[in-house]
A and B are shown apart, each in its own frame.
Chain A
């Protein structure tokens, strides 16, 4: 089925490419468990495009991060981009905030059945000599070091995928493959990790974040990978004027950095999990944003990235809200 989807994608891109400035998608990487982003202008490269459970990167960020915004000519052709459900929400959020216009992108929507977290696989089977990896029904089948491993999908999916409510793209020009069923339909399953931490006493919560954030090396990979962190060189974590953070390596600086990241994403974060995926220290940074997403849903009934005409809740107000 994956193979037919891939052929369909190649066909659609081949038809569309003459009208496109560029096509952004995924291609196979150094081992079967990972893919890497690819930028296609040459029709010969289309056959390299791939899709499936190993395409974990959110490509939406490439539309707004340098050099993307540098001098786009008025008559520029649209850019083609492959998006999963969560990536499409990032696109919607970027369209909402007018960082990209809808007619500048040609969206190839890809229903997603969950992406594989290669770290979880590495913990179970190691990553040496992986010959092949495929997803069959609810199992990941890996051929590594001469033996075949069958691992339950639930054990190796990225954390954000386990509570995914929007596996299908919110917006798209074309849909590639069959519509997927959501893994979660309720707030309880989506936010179960948040609730698990929230149910602990406050001292344990502080101790949890102290031990997690203590590992933070402030490489800012989470910020750089985030498609909605659009301040770039103006990020207040690095500016000298105003000077919010010093170069000290204490816990307060680490806490404050993550507060900055989280508060700037409050009501905007679409939960694509990129911050957590790229963290070299394995810190569950998405969890911080998940809590704020939960607050936004419960307090204001808002989920980011679902409505291209919506406004992020902290950038607007409602005089009638007397209860808060």
Chain B
């Protein structure tokens, strides 16, 4: 996960200048949402450009730690999208995912991470319009929230203990 987005602990600012480097990572199921995003593209629906897509074989592959790591290391938003429940290509993958994603969603705020930066949703391959709606709404939300302040300095310069150990 490389990172060049501006990082600041300043409160979220709605000005365009402050939200230009916004980066959102999307984990999309190969069998539906990835196809849905493709459909939206083929249909030439206008979509925000902040999203970086990672294709996964199934939302059952989604480790909650993918989301946690993205947010901890400063991704501004994480979107997970898969097949509608009961529509999974592998029959049950998204049933597992649903529990894991929901547990993570409830857990993130406890650690001080804004849970609004993470969203999971279900979009099928034919729902180009629905995909456009989901991604536009999520992108707008992240722009409202501004850059992700992260959990702290990356290298540990401001960290008391690590200075002591160096």
Chain A residues packing against B (C-beta within 8 Å): 194, 197-198, 202-203, 205-210, 214-217, 244, 248-252, 255-256, 259-260, 262-263, 266-267, 288, 291-292, 295-296, 299-300, 313-314, 316-319, 321-322, 324
Contacts and interface: CB of A to CB of B under 8 A. Distances in A.
A232 to B, nearest CB: 18
Given A210-B151, A263-B68, A318-B95, A250 B110 contact: no
A214 B160 contact: yes
Name A's interface SS. Answer: helix
Nearest to A205: B112
B45 interface: no
Contact of A263 (B65, B72, B73, B96): B65
Contacts of A321: 95, 98-99
Contacts of A316: 96
A263 B109 contact: no
A252 B73 contact: yes
Interface band, chain B? 35 or more
26 contacts: A210-B112, A210-B151, A217-B165, A244-B65, A248-B155, A250-B152, A250-B162, A251-B151, A251-B152, A252-B72, A252-B73, A255-B72, A259-B68, A263-B63, A263-B64, A288-B110, A288-B111, A295-B103, A299-B99, A317-B95, A318-B95, A319-B86, A319-B92, A319-B95, A321-B95, A321-B98
Nearest to A204: B112
Interface string B42-72: 0000000000000000000001110011001
Contacts of A295: 103, 106-107
A252 B148 CA distance: 13
Contacts of A256: 65, 68-69, 72-73
Given A249-B159, A251-B153, A252-B154, A324 B72 contact: no
B85 interface: yes
The 4 A-B pairs with the shortest beta carbon distances in the complex, nearest first, are A206-B112, A251-B152, A317-B95, A249-B162
A321 B153 CA distance: 40
Given A210-B152, A217-B161, A248-B156, A317 B112 contact: no
B107 A252 contact: no
B120 to A, nearest CB: 10
Interface string B122-166: 000000000000000000000000000011111110011110010
Contact of B99 (A197, A207, A216, A314): A314
Contacts of A207: 112
Nearest to B98: A324
B65 A206 contact: no
A252 B95 contact: no
Contact of A299 (B103, B151, B165): B103
Contact of B154 (A214, A248, A299): A248
- Among B86, B92, B113, B114, residue most surrounded by chain A Cβ atoms (within 10 Å): B113
Contact of A249 (B99, B109, B114, B156): B156
A248 B157 CA distance: 11
B151 A255 contact: yes
B95 A263 contact: no
A248 B98 CA distance: 33
Contacts of A299: 99, 102-103, 106
Contacts of B99: 299-300, 313-314, 317, 321, 324
A197 B111 CA distance: 10
Given A210-B112, A319-B95, 5 more contacts: A205-B112, A248-B156, A250-B159, A251-B154, A259-B69
B104 interface: yes
Nearest to B165: A249
B5 to A, nearest CB: 14
